[in-house]
Amino acid sequence: MAARNRGFFEGRNIFCLNLVSSPGSGKTTILEKTMLALKPELRMMAIEGDQQTSLDAERIMATGVPVVQINTGMGCHLDARMVNRAMTDLPTAEHSILFIENVGNLVCPAMFDLGESKRVLIISVTEGDDKPLKYPAMFRSAHLCIINKTDLLPYVIFDVEKVIQNAKSVNPELEFIQLSAITGEGMGDWLEWCRRSVK
Protein backbone atom coordinates (compact mmCIF):
# COMPACT_ATOMS: atom_id res chain seq x y z
CA MET A 1 0.00 0.00 0.00
CA ALA A 2 2.91 2.35 0.72
CA ALA A 3 4.28 1.61 -2.75
CA ARG A 4 0.88 2.40 -4.26
CA ASN A 5 0.75 5.70 -2.39
CA ARG A 6 4.28 6.53 -3.52
CA GLY A 7 3.38 5.82 -7.16
CA PHE A 8 0.24 7.95 -6.83
CA PHE A 9 2.27 10.87 -5.41
CA GLU A 10 5.11 10.54 -7.92
CA GLY A 11 2.69 10.36 -10.86
CA ARG A 12 1.22 13.71 -9.85
CA ASN A 13 4.42 15.38 -8.66
CA ILE A 14 3.02 15.57 -5.14
CA PHE A 15 5.90 15.95 -2.69
CA CYS A 16 4.78 14.05 0.40
CA LEU A 17 6.34 14.68 3.79
CA ASN A 18 5.81 12.49 6.85
CA LEU A 19 6.36 14.62 9.96
CA VAL A 20 7.27 12.54 13.00
CA SER A 21 8.19 13.52 16.56
CA SER A 22 7.37 13.18 20.24
CA PRO A 23 4.06 14.76 21.31
CA GLY A 24 4.30 18.53 21.54
CA SER A 25 7.61 19.13 19.77
CA GLY A 26 5.88 21.64 17.50
CA LYS A 27 4.70 19.80 14.36
CA THR A 28 1.39 21.63 14.03
CA THR A 29 2.90 25.01 14.91
CA ILE A 30 5.58 24.57 12.23
CA LEU A 31 2.89 23.53 9.72
CA GLU A 32 0.67 26.53 10.54
CA LYS A 33 3.58 28.95 10.01
CA THR A 34 4.75 27.11 6.89
CA MET A 35 1.32 27.20 5.29
CA LEU A 36 0.80 30.88 5.95
CA ALA A 37 4.23 31.63 4.47
CA LEU A 38 4.00 29.39 1.39
CA LYS A 39 0.32 29.85 0.54
CA PRO A 40 0.92 32.56 -2.07
CA GLU A 41 3.38 30.39 -4.05
CA LEU A 42 2.63 26.68 -3.45
CA ARG A 43 -0.36 24.35 -3.38
CA MET A 44 -0.52 22.36 -0.17
CA MET A 45 -2.63 19.70 1.55
CA ALA A 46 -2.44 18.08 4.96
CA ILE A 47 -3.34 14.90 6.78
CA GLU A 48 -3.41 15.13 10.57
CA GLY A 49 -2.95 12.02 12.73
CA ASP A 50 -3.97 11.95 16.39
CA GLN A 51 -5.48 9.35 18.69
CA GLN A 52 -8.49 11.59 19.33
CA THR A 53 -9.94 15.03 18.44
CA SER A 54 -9.84 17.24 15.37
CA LEU A 55 -7.93 20.00 17.17
CA ASP A 56 -4.90 19.92 14.86
CA ALA A 57 -7.05 19.76 11.71
CA GLU A 58 -8.96 22.83 12.94
CA ARG A 59 -5.66 24.71 13.35
CA ILE A 60 -4.62 23.77 9.80
CA MET A 61 -8.06 24.58 8.39
CA ALA A 62 -7.70 28.11 9.77
CA THR A 63 -4.77 28.64 7.37
CA GLY A 64 -7.05 27.79 4.41
CA VAL A 65 -5.15 24.62 3.43
CA PRO A 66 -7.31 21.51 2.71
CA VAL A 67 -6.92 19.00 5.54
CA VAL A 68 -8.22 15.61 6.66
CA GLN A 69 -8.03 14.44 10.27
CA ILE A 70 -7.39 10.76 11.00
CA ASN A 71 -8.13 9.48 14.52
CA THR A 72 -6.26 6.30 15.35
CA GLY A 73 -8.18 5.55 18.58
CA MET A 74 -5.93 3.19 20.54
CA GLY A 75 -3.42 3.14 17.65
CA CYS A 76 -0.06 4.87 18.06
CA HIS A 77 0.87 5.62 14.43
CA LEU A 78 -0.52 6.20 10.95
CA ASP A 79 -0.24 3.50 8.29
CA ALA A 80 -0.29 3.56 4.49
CA ARG A 81 -3.89 2.32 4.28
CA MET A 82 -5.13 5.25 6.41
CA VAL A 83 -3.25 7.69 4.19
CA ASN A 84 -4.64 6.03 1.04
CA ARG A 85 -8.20 6.39 2.36
CA ALA A 86 -7.66 10.00 3.46
CA MET A 87 -6.43 10.94 -0.03
CA THR A 88 -9.92 10.29 -1.44
CA ASP A 89 -11.14 13.25 0.68
CA LEU A 90 -8.42 15.67 -0.47
CA PRO A 91 -8.24 17.66 -3.70
CA THR A 92 -5.13 16.24 -5.37
CA ALA A 93 -3.37 19.19 -6.93
CA GLU A 94 -0.35 18.41 -9.13
CA HIS A 95 3.00 20.00 -8.18
CA SER A 96 1.95 20.38 -4.56
CA ILE A 97 3.15 19.45 -1.08
CA LEU A 98 1.26 16.98 1.09
CA PHE A 99 2.18 17.31 4.76
CA ILE A 100 1.31 14.28 6.87
CA GLU A 101 1.52 14.99 10.60
CA ASN A 102 1.95 11.61 12.24
CA VAL A 103 0.75 10.73 15.74
CA GLY A 104 3.12 12.25 18.35
CA ASN A 105 5.29 9.25 19.19
CA LEU A 106 9.04 8.75 18.80
CA VAL A 107 8.81 4.95 18.49
CA CYS A 108 6.13 3.24 16.34
CA PRO A 109 5.84 5.66 13.36
CA ALA A 110 9.46 4.81 12.49
CA MET A 111 8.37 1.36 11.37
CA PHE A 112 5.52 2.37 9.05
CA ASP A 113 6.26 3.54 5.52
CA LEU A 114 3.34 5.74 4.38
CA GLY A 115 4.68 6.15 0.85
CA GLU A 116 6.16 9.53 1.68
CA SER A 117 8.90 11.18 -0.38
CA LYS A 118 10.81 12.32 2.71
CA ARG A 119 10.52 11.79 6.45
CA VAL A 120 11.02 14.87 8.62
CA LEU A 121 11.83 14.34 12.28
CA ILE A 122 11.25 17.21 14.67
CA ILE A 123 13.01 17.35 18.01
CA SER A 124 12.53 20.29 20.35
CA VAL A 125 15.24 21.55 22.66
CA THR A 126 13.19 20.68 25.76
CA GLU A 127 13.43 16.96 24.99
CA GLY A 128 17.12 16.35 25.73
CA ASP A 129 20.12 15.91 23.43
CA ASP A 130 20.35 12.17 24.19
CA LYS A 131 17.18 11.25 22.27
CA PRO A 132 18.91 10.11 19.02
CA LEU A 133 20.77 7.46 21.02
CA LYS A 134 17.69 6.33 22.96
CA TYR A 135 15.30 6.25 19.98
CA PRO A 136 17.65 5.44 17.10
CA ALA A 137 15.06 3.84 14.77
CA MET A 138 13.28 7.13 14.26
CA PHE A 139 16.50 9.07 13.65
CA ARG A 140 17.80 6.36 11.31
CA SER A 141 14.64 6.45 9.15
CA ALA A 142 14.50 10.26 8.79
CA HIS A 143 15.92 12.41 5.97
CA LEU A 144 15.72 15.79 7.69
CA CYS A 145 15.88 16.66 11.37
CA ILE A 146 14.36 19.96 12.49
CA ILE A 147 15.63 21.16 15.85
CA ASN A 148 12.71 23.30 17.06
CA LYS A 149 12.12 25.77 19.91
CA THR A 150 15.63 27.26 19.67
CA ASP A 151 14.19 30.36 21.38
CA LEU A 152 14.18 28.26 24.59
CA LEU A 153 17.90 27.35 24.42
CA PRO A 154 18.92 29.92 27.08
CA TYR A 155 16.59 28.22 29.58
CA VAL A 156 17.28 24.52 29.07
CA ILE A 157 20.26 22.20 29.23
CA PHE A 158 20.51 21.12 25.59
CA ASP A 159 23.68 21.01 23.52
CA VAL A 160 22.83 21.50 19.83
CA GLU A 161 26.24 20.23 18.66
CA LYS A 162 25.83 17.14 20.81
CA VAL A 163 22.35 16.29 19.51
CA ILE A 164 23.66 16.62 15.94
CA GLN A 165 26.65 14.43 16.75
CA ASN A 166 24.39 11.82 18.43
CA ALA A 167 21.96 11.83 15.49
CA LYS A 168 24.78 11.51 12.95
CA SER A 169 26.17 8.53 14.86
CA VAL A 170 22.96 6.63 14.00
CA ASN A 171 22.32 8.29 10.62
CA PRO A 172 25.33 9.97 8.94
CA GLU A 173 23.15 11.15 6.01
CA LEU A 174 20.72 13.14 8.17
CA GLU A 175 20.30 16.85 7.32
CA PHE A 176 19.58 19.43 10.05
CA ILE A 177 17.69 22.70 10.27
CA GLN A 178 17.51 24.69 13.50
CA LEU A 179 14.52 26.94 13.97
CA SER A 180 11.99 28.50 16.27
CA ALA A 181 8.43 28.26 14.99
CA ILE A 182 7.44 30.97 17.47
CA THR A 183 10.05 33.67 16.73
CA GLY A 184 10.49 32.62 13.08
CA GLU A 185 14.29 32.38 13.43
CA GLY A 186 15.57 29.76 10.96
CA MET A 187 12.14 29.28 9.33
CA GLY A 188 13.59 30.62 6.08
CA ASP A 189 15.93 27.61 5.78
CA TRP A 190 12.99 25.22 6.18
CA LEU A 191 10.78 27.12 3.71
CA GLU A 192 13.62 27.05 1.19
CA TRP A 193 14.04 23.30 1.72
CA CYS A 194 10.31 22.84 0.97
CA ARG A 195 10.44 25.07 -2.13
CA ARG A 196 13.47 23.21 -3.50
CA SER A 197 11.73 19.86 -3.05
CA VAL A 198 8.56 20.58 -5.06
CA LYS A 199 8.98 19.83 -8.76
- Indicate the residue among 24 and 64 with the shorter CB distance to ligand GTP: 24
Which residue in the set 14, 17, 20, 27 belongs to the binding site for ligand GTP (CB under 6 A)?
27
Q: Kindly indicate which of the ranges 20-28, 106-114, 131-139, 186-194 contains the residues binding ligand GTP, using the contact rule CB under 6 A.
A: 20-28
- Indicate the residue among 22 and 141 with the shorter CB distance to Mg ion: 22
With CB under 5 to 8 Å by kind, the binding choice for 149 among Mg ion, ligand GTP, none is ligand GTP
Q: Give the total of residues touching ligand GTP (CB under 6 A).
A: 17
Cα–Cα distance measured from residue 155 to residue 159, given in angstroms and rounded to the nearest whole number: 12
32 binds Mg ion (CB under 5 A): no
User: Is the distance from CB of 16 to CB of 115 less than 8 angstroms?
Assistant: yes
Cα–Cα distance measured from residue 172 to residue 6, given in angstroms and rounded to the nearest whole number: 25
Amino acid sitting at position 137 = A
Which residue in the set 51, 93, 117, 151 belongs to the binding site for ligand GTP (CB under 6 A)?
151
- Indicate the residue among 91 and 98 with the shorter CB distance to ligand GTP: 98
Q: Residues 87 to 106: which contact ligand GTP by CB under 6 A?
A: 104
146 closest CA partner among 163, 171, 169: 163
Cα–Cα distance measured from residue 188 to residue 34, given in angstroms and rounded to the nearest whole number: 10
User: Which H or E element spans position 145?
Assistant: strand 144-148
Which residue in the set 18, 21, 25, 28 belongs to the binding site for Mg ion (CB under 5 A)?
28
CA distances to 19, 133, 179, 192, 198 from 95, rounded to whole Å, are 19, 36, 26, 16, 6
186 binds ligand GTP (CB under 6 A): no
Start-to-end CA span in the chain (Å): 23
Q: Which residues bind Mg ion (CB under 5 A)?
A: 27-28, 56
